[in-house]
Amino acid sequence: MTSLTDEIIDIAMRPADHVPDLPLDFAKLSLLDWMTCAIAGTGEPLAVKLRQLAASESGRPVASVLGGMRVPPRMAALVNGATSHSLDYDDTHFAHVGHLSVGIYPAALAIAEMQDASAEELVTSFLLGAESAIRVGMTLGREHYNHGFHQTATAGAFGATLAAGRLLGLNHSQTRHAIGLCATRASGLTSQFGSMGKPYNAGIAAANGVECSILASIGFTSADDGLMGHQGFVGTHLPGGSLAYKSDMAFDNYLFPDNKYKLHACCHGLHSMIEALQVARDVNGVSLDDINTFYLSTNPRWLAVCDIKQPRTGLEVKFSYNWLAGMTLRGDDTGDDRLFTDSIAGDAELKRFAERISVVGDADLTDLQTSGILSLTDGRTIPLWFDLTEPFTTEVLAEKLQRKSSTIIGEASASIWNLYHRFGQLGARDIAATLVAASTDLET
């Protein structure tokens, strides 16, 4: 019987000419969205501190860091991964239970730059690493996440390892060892949510991917099956140690195109609520003063993630149903990350409105669904419902992501989106140079 380890090795080593165009197109859009989020996060305090860490350590100036520094690949992956997740504005894959681009693209870009790979090779390695990470995430499942592990960092590290390993040209045996090394390295806790530790988790995943793949390339060995074997990663990181491999995850189709993109600068668990409230506001013309109570139902897992009742900082506001509901109904642009300052956590109007909100878990709702009722002061009630599962075409998604990019990084967006139809002519070093130039321009 094929194991998950065998499956993801086969995925990572898939010939490039066997990879269809559609998932590659989504992967290209994810690269541009990741670059936007990374550039926007360059000035964040955690990004500044990580660049200070990078500057304090000597090493070969091989890979580019946001803001203009050149450092060893592992450090570049750490800094760029954490920076790109600092605004929590990056994509989410709900089957994977995490954010794919921030853990995998920084590792892939660091190695691709070192290897002077093409942009197409960069994107292909990301896609196949992401497909692998999704399957690891699905095997670990909600149980792993609910137990306190951050799948962006845990399952994501395996995707980063395989993407980096593909770019390094690892053979089958070396790839198996890289996975085994990642199994003893991958880490990340959901208890860090709302702090600098959450984006740091993404950087850890990327750095682990670079480290494990490079070690494997120079002959470093590991347990034969560190992922699924006896006391391997899956067995030790699931309550009860379930080792069942889900055969329905065999590589018959690509799962990455189910990836969801953030059009609001907050936790993805809040997005269906925001969309539902925007519809209610636009259709019915309701304002905060019109609302007597707001009753919201969401999938129960979100209650432990984004139901901070009284946020103290701008970061915590991004994980608060209470605050985002009020911001949406009064017409704040939730797509503009600049709104999420510490001062908004003390907003008196939002504090008063929060007292009128009840949030409950409903296991019949998926992660992407919201239902609720707005009770108005005139006695009317407005039912709410939204489901984020409706997919976008690549053309519609490109338009939405380009608008998002323009909103959060302004003129710097043009240089990023000028790459979209030129991937076949570009190298990974061109991607890195564009990323650094745009981040440097934004800082100045």
Q: What is the DSSP string of 233-292?
A: HHHHSSTT------GGGSTTS--GGG-B--SSSS-GGGHHHHHHHHHHHHHH---GGGEE
* Tokens encoding 427: 């190298």
**Tally of helices (H runs) and strands (E runs) in the chain:** 17, 6
Residue 90, token pair as written in the block: 């990056």
Among candidates 185, 179, 169, 208, which has minimal Cα distance to 82? 208
Question: What's the pTM value of the predicted model, to 2 decimals?
Answer: 0.86
Domain 268-387's class? alpha beta
Name the DSSP class of 300: G
Tokens 């290897």 label which residue? 115
**pLDDT by residue for the chain (444 residues), tens digit each?**
568 999 999 999 999 999 999 999 999 999 999 999 999 999 999 999 999 999 999 789 999 999 999 999 999 999 999 999 998 889 999 899 999 999 999 999 999 999 999 999 999 999 999 999 999 999 998 889 989 999 999 999 999 999 999 999 999 999 999 999 999 999 999 999 889 999 999 999 999 999 999 999 999 999 999 999 999 999 999 876 544 445 445 556 899 999 999 889 888 899 999 999 998 888 788 889 899 999 999 999 899 889 999 999 998 999 999 999 999 999 998 988 888 999 999 999 999 999 999 999 999 999 899 999 999 999 999 999 999 887 788 998 999 899 999 989 999 999 999 999 899 999 999 999 999 999 987 755
Exposed/middle/buried for 355, CB within 10 Å: 0-12, 13-18, 19+? exposed
Q: At what angle do helices 172-183 and 4-12 cross, to 10 degrees?
A: 120
Which structure tokens are listed for 345? 């956590």
Please determine, looking at this structure, whether the domain spanning 4-260+393-443 carries the CATH number 1.10.4100.10.
Answer: yes
Which residue is listed with tokens 């990974």? Answer: 428
What residue segments make up the domains of the chain, in order of their start? 4-260+393-443, 268-387
pLDDT for residue 247 = 46
Q: Which residues is 376 bridged to in the sheet? A: 291
Q: How far is CA 12 from CA 19, 153, 170, 329, in A?
A: 11, 19, 10, 45
Amino acid at 365: L
The strand pair at 381-387 and 369-376 is best described as: antiparallel
Instruction: Copy the structure tokens of residue 414.
Output: 């043009």
- The type of residue at 11 is I
Task: Return d(Cα 204, Cα 179) in angstroms, integer.
Answer: 15
Instruction: Give Cα separations from 291 to 20, 344, 360 (angstroms).
Output: 49, 21, 18
> Which amino acid is located at 359 in the chain?
V
- CA gap 424, 379 in Å, rounded: 59
Distance CA(160)–CA(168), nearest Å, equals: 12
